[in-house]
Amino acid sequence: MSRSSPWVRAAIVVAYFLAFWLALPAALYSVGRYFDAALGWELDSHPWGLVVLLLGLGALSWSMLALWREGKGLPVSALPPPKLAKRGPYRWVRHPIYLGFQLAVVGWGLLVGSKGLTWVVGLGLTWLWVPYALLEERGLAKRFRQDWTRYERRTGLLPRLSLYGLVLVLVRLGLVRVRVVGTENIPKSGPAILVANHLCYVDFLFVSRGSWRKMWFPTTAEAWRHPVSAWFLARLASVPVRRYRVDPAACREVVRLLREGELVCMHVEGERAPLGEYRGAPEGLADLIRRLGAPVVPVGISGAYDVGPRWSDVIRRRPVEVRFGTPMSLGTEAKRQLDAAIRRLLLEDPERIDLDGLPIHKLGRILWCCPSCLAAWIPPKCQTCGAELRSVRGLVGIARPGDTPAYVTLAELARPVWALPPPTSLDCRAEVATEVRMVGTPRPLQVLGTGTLEISRDGIFHDLVDLPAGEIRSVTTERADTLQVATRAGMWQFKLDGLSAFRAQQALTTWLGSSDKPQP
């Protein structure tokens, strides 16, 4: 007779109930009492036993209810649920029913005062249910394939330390100085996409302060290339994304998270703003967010540029304010809607920055020419015209000896420098590395060596690799000293010595976008 028959299914359920909920507890109690007698242990009831027993039974009930609601089945291995349960207690551990049962046995032993039942049988159950659970997981892996693989990677067989939860607690206790406004706009449940500006390495800490709900952050693949940082990122709700190319794996992961009702936070500028001003969302990303169909919550982060300006390689403790806007739906003009919503939430744009305590010489990464005479210089003083940088109340100015500077934001001071047309070519020493595989989990890059780098309208030419302009598909930056260039064939990183990565990126973007760019 087929298992699909209602009578057969009912008989299987009854058999499992008798075996695992009556016969098994009776057998465990008998074994526990046997050890009591063999070792001369007397019964000694503990009042906390009832609490532990109720916690175990509560965990059991919650787990079975979650399995019934989401998995559409019962904890009967002969009649496996048709769907994979991942919510409720299954969010924290892969087999909460077994853990709940074990906790109930320990509580039962404490309540009746049986040391054998508590310590020998109760704790010894681990050596029984863990191998059995691992055997069950072979079948789960075959039935649910990639869905199970992702779930297994995120959820432990035994409860794991929640690094994300620990970070949330530390943030609430004052790890960072952040004030949040509009937290009622973050949905209490269900999927949503938070879209924010990006100024600092630790922006995710500021945004996560807005809710106890877990937020997932797409993070540059570069941060995943080192084993230590990858370990932390995997436990901080991070999704690796290769910014230099279309990344289907990252897109699929974001879609899956939203389908599972998660919060996803995207810093829509892609890179951290080097000058402290909002640069807007790329058209393609804005359209992708629109097509995802989830509610969009705009987020404005103010003050983070003063915490850790990208050019400085410094992180410091400064006050930050995060504003969460009203959820919205995007239409055909998604980019305009996103940019307008984020800008409305910013306290000022561009931002001010206090230069005291920062490595001023590194300002050359964003001010590669003197803002006064536009000659090459080493901040804070121009060797050509004698002009010197000054700072007051977060504003900066530059003036020659005897003159009074006009104080503006750093972004405004940099505009004449960034408006300069690129020279015929740029050159420096650079270490070059390449990505061996552009799919799968990001791995450490293969370092090819150090040599002379020349960047021109014709492309990028290094002693070890040549990238003609017609083959280049994207130009991005990592940190403040690395140029990242992608072609259809691969990706190359150039760690620059003596040349601003932002200047190189700007020059390449100008040349590659010009009408006389070599065609592929």
Q: What is the pLDDT of residue 352?
A: 97
Q: What is the pLDDT of residue 4?
A: 62
> For residue 517, is pLDDT > 70?
no
Which of the two residues, 338 and 18, has the higher pLDDT score? 338
Distance CA 103, CA 2 (A): 36
> For residue 453, is pLDDT > 60?
yes
Contact between 280 and 269 (Cβ < 8 Å): yes
Contact between 323 and 209 (Cβ < 8 Å): no
Q: What is the DSSP-derived secondary structure letter of residue 360?
A: G
Measure the N-to-C terminal CA separation of the chain; round to a whole number of Å.
66
Q: What is the mean pLDDT of the chain?
A: 92
**Using one digit for the tens of pLDDT, what is the confidence trace for 493-509?**
999 999 999 999 999 99
Q: What is the DSSP string of 368-413?
A: -B-TTT--B-BTTB-TTT--EEEEETTEEEEE-TTPPPPPB-HHHH
Q: Which CATH class is domain 425-513?
A: mainly beta
Which of the two residues, 497 and 439, has the higher pLDDT score? 497
Q: What is the pLDDT of residue 270?
A: 87
Residue 3 banded pLDDT, cuts 50, 70, 90: low
> For residue 359, is pLDDT > 60?
yes
Question: In sequence order, which residues have a C-beta less than 8 Å from that of residue 423 and are 6 or more positions away?
Answer: 507
Q: Is 64 helix (H, G, I), strand (E, B) or coil?
A: helix
Residue 76 banded pLDDT, cuts 50, 70, 90: confident
> For residue 258, is pLDDT > 90?
yes
Residue 2 banded pLDDT, cuts 50, 70, 90: low
Identity of residue 438:
M
> For residue 47, is pLDDT > 90?
no
> For residue 353, is pLDDT > 80?
yes
Which whole number is the average pLDDT over 130-159? 87
For the whole prediction, is pTM greater than 0.85?
no
Contact between 280 and 203 (Cβ < 8 Å): no
| Residue of 302, 309, 321 lying closest to 275 (CA atoms) | 309
**Using one digit for the tens of pLDDT, what is the confidence trace for 272-298?**
999 999 999 999 999 999 999 999 999
> For residue 98, is pLDDT > 90?
yes
Q: What is the pLDDT of residue 168?
A: 92
Counting residues of the chain whose pLDDT is more than 90, the rounded percentage is 79
Domain ranges in the chain?
6-154, 166-345, 360-418, 425-513
Residue 520 banded pLDDT, cuts 50, 70, 90: very low
> For residue 514, is pLDDT > 50?
no
Could you say which architecture CATH assigns to the domain 166-345? Answer: 3-Layer(aba) Sandwich (3.40)
Q: What is the DSSP-derived secondary structure letter of residue 23?
A: I
Which whole number is the average pLDDT over 312-334? 96
> For residue 519, is pLDDT > 50?
no
Identity of residue 492:
W
**Using one digit for the tens of pLDDT, what is the confidence trace for 226-244?**
989 988 888 888 999 999 8
Q: What is the pLDDT of residue 440?
A: 83
Q: What are phi and psi of 388, to 5 degrees?
A: -135, 140
> For residue 518, is pLDDT > 70?
no
